[in-house]
């Protein structure tokens, strides 16, 4: 059903612009899909205008920590093996959020195509995990990739190499919405073509609508699937967990969010709260400026959302069909290359927690959250700190402490190619607690780092860490050039 507006005003002007974009498309399935996307965008846009006029800011006095029943501890759940839940696995699908590019790490193309361990990419490891799961359980758990218009073409080519693997792979695209000008509220795009700066993928909260629009949701229901496990493709800890799957079946909950204990590195992560007696996800973007420091306090908000989500497929269909599936808006202000101020309206997939029956969190071990957002993270997952088995990374049992070291690599290591050029082989870090490296520093092979290690090459200086070096609680600074023999 086409959404319309009364003549006059911003809403009408935007509706006219969107219809103009639609009418430039030739008749056919692509036009129908584009028309549906523009209608969905228009619904989001009118909510934005309404919220600007009428919505009340978050009342911080009503923000409470979650009730005990809203966050269950993982260790209190009954332990299960993959074989124990084999019948349930036949009702599960795995969905990876695959819309991001690797640009922040200096890479071209989908982030999921970055090599993260033993020359294998995020996608390689994910396929290995699910293939092994299907082999052990006898189930047929499909892998679904939600791409964006930025990643779809490359991903479609990449997945062809898995055609002989024991895993069914399906893809669909999340929506493509027009950026709009901050001053006039009118869309920047003049044509439906995918020109730079004009369009954007509207955050992973778009999953629900796009999943339904793709036809895959109905297909999974027809195949007898009941649950979908959703996670970020760059979270190497987000594997199918038989314990939580059994918990979903036992409780009948329509939505389970995996949370884990917050550390100082996670102070910006969204958290489950009780707001007016309702379980909600609170993101830092929603917090009033006066209370941001309060939000970041680990003592008050002790957990954060890993974005590992277990969701009832039928519940998604019901809520999308209701058209009352409003997720909290994230207003993202941007500036284009030519200096134009624009707005992107986005939503977060976890914000849907308030709409599902029986929704709650499960406080999982930190090992379930192993994202690779930077080369500092890459340093950890390529090291001897982890063992790789059937596509899954596990903390090396030889590590004395079960915590992960704090690693801070400077700007010289920011891009993957620069990072790789500075390490001949990954250092051994089983006994490492903290590593900071800044400046022009290179590591030769067979280096061991233990305790707290700080290496600082001042401006214009260069430091070579020689082959076989063992640095234990050391500070290295200045200019040091050594040749390997």
**Catalytic residue numbers?**
373
Residues 283/272, Cβ–Cβ less than 8 Å: no
In this structure, the dihedral spanned by the alpha carbons of residues 116, 122, 123 and 125, taken in order and rounded to 10 degrees, is 80
Backbone angles phi, psi at 71, to 5 degrees: -135, 110
Please give the radius of gyration of the chain, using alpha carbons only, rounded to the nearest integer.
24
- What's the 3-state SS for the chain? CCCCCCCCHHHHHHHHHHHHHHHCCCCCHHHHHHHHHHHHHHHHHHHHHHHHHHCCCCCHHHEECCCHHHEEEHHHCCCCCCCCCHHHHCCEEEEEEECCECHHHCCCCEHHHCEEECCEEHHHHHHHHHHHHHHHHCCCCCEEEEECCCCHHHHHHHHHHHCCCCCCEEEEECCCEECEECCCCCECCCCCCCCCCCEECCCHHHHHHHHHHHCHHHHHHHCCCCEEEEEECCECCCCCCHHHHHHHHHHCCCEEEEEEECCHHHCCCCEEEEECCEEEEECHHHCCHHHHHHHHCCCCCCEEEEEEEEEEHHHHHHHHHHCCCCCCCEEEEEECCCCCEEEEEECCHHHHHHHCCCCEEEECCHHHCCECCCHHHHHHHCCCCEEEECCEEEECCCCCCCCCCEEEECHHHCCHHHHHHCECCCCECCCEEEEEEECEEEECCCCEEEEEEEEECCCCCEEEECCCCEEEEEEEECCECCCCC
What Å distances lie between residue 477 and 226, 403, 437, 480, CA to CA? 57, 27, 10, 8
Half-sphere exposure for 168 (CA within 13 Å, toward CB): 12
């Amino acid at each position: 059903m086409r959404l319309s507006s009364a003549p006059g005003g911003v809403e009408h002007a935007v509706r006219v612009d969107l219809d103009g974009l639609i009418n430039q498309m030739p008749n056919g399935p692509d036009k129908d899909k584009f028309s549906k996307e523009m209608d969905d965008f228009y619904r989001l846009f009118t909510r934005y205008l309404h919220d600007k006029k009428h919505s009340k800011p978050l009342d911080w006095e009503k923000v409470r920590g979650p009730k005990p029943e809203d966050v269950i501890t993982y260790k209190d759940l009954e332990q299960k093996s993959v074989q124990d839940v084999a019948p349930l696995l036949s009702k599960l699908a795995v969905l990876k959020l695959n819309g991001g590019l690797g640009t922040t790490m200096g890479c071209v193309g989908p982030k999921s195509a970055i090599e993260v361990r033993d020359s294998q990419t995020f996608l390689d490891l994910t396929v290995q995990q699910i293939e092994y799961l299907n082999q052990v359980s006898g189930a047929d758990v499909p892998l679904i990739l939600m791409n964006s218009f930025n990643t779809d073409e490359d991903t479609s080519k990449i997945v062809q190499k898995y055609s002989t693997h024991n895993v069914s792979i399906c893809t669909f695209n999340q929506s493509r919405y027009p950026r709009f000008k901050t001053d006039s509220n009118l869309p920047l795009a003049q044509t439906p073509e995918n020109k730079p700066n004009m369009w954007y993928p509207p955050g992973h909260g778009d999953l629900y609508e796009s999943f339904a629009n793709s036809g895959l949701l109905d297909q999974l229901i027809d195949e007898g699937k009941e649950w979908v496990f959703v996670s970020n493709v760059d979270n190497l800890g987000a594997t199918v967990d038989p314990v939580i799957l059994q918990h979903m079946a036992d409780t009948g909950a329509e939505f389970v969010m995996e949370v884990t204990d917050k550390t100082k590195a996670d102070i910006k992560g969204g958290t489950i709260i009780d707001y007016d007696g309702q379980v909600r996800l609170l993101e830092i973007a929603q917090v009033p400026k006066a209370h941001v420091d309060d939000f970041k306090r680990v003592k008050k908000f002790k957990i954060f959302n890993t974005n590992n989500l277990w969701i009832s497929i039928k519940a998604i269909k019901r809520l999308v069909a209701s058209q009352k599936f409003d997720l909290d808006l994230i207003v993202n202000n941007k500036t284009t290359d030519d200096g134009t101020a624009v707005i992107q309206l986005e939503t977060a997939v976890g914000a849907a927690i308030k709409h599902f029956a029986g929704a709650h969190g499960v406080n999982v071990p930190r090992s379930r959250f192993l994202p690779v957002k930077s080369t500092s993270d890459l340093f950890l997952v390529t090291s001897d700190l982890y063992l790789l088995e059937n596509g899954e990374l596990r903390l090396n049992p030889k590590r004395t402490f079960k915590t992960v070291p704090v690693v801070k690599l400077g700007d010289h290591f920011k891009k993957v190619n620069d990072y790789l050029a500075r390490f001949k082989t990954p250092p051994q870090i089983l006994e490492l607690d903290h590593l900071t490296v800044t400046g022009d520093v290179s590591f030769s092979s067979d280096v061991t780092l233990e305790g707290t290690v700080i290496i600082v090459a001042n401006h214009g200086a260069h430091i070579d860490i020689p082959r076989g070096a063992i640095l234990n609680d050391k500070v290295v600074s200045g200019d040091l050039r050594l040749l390997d023999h």
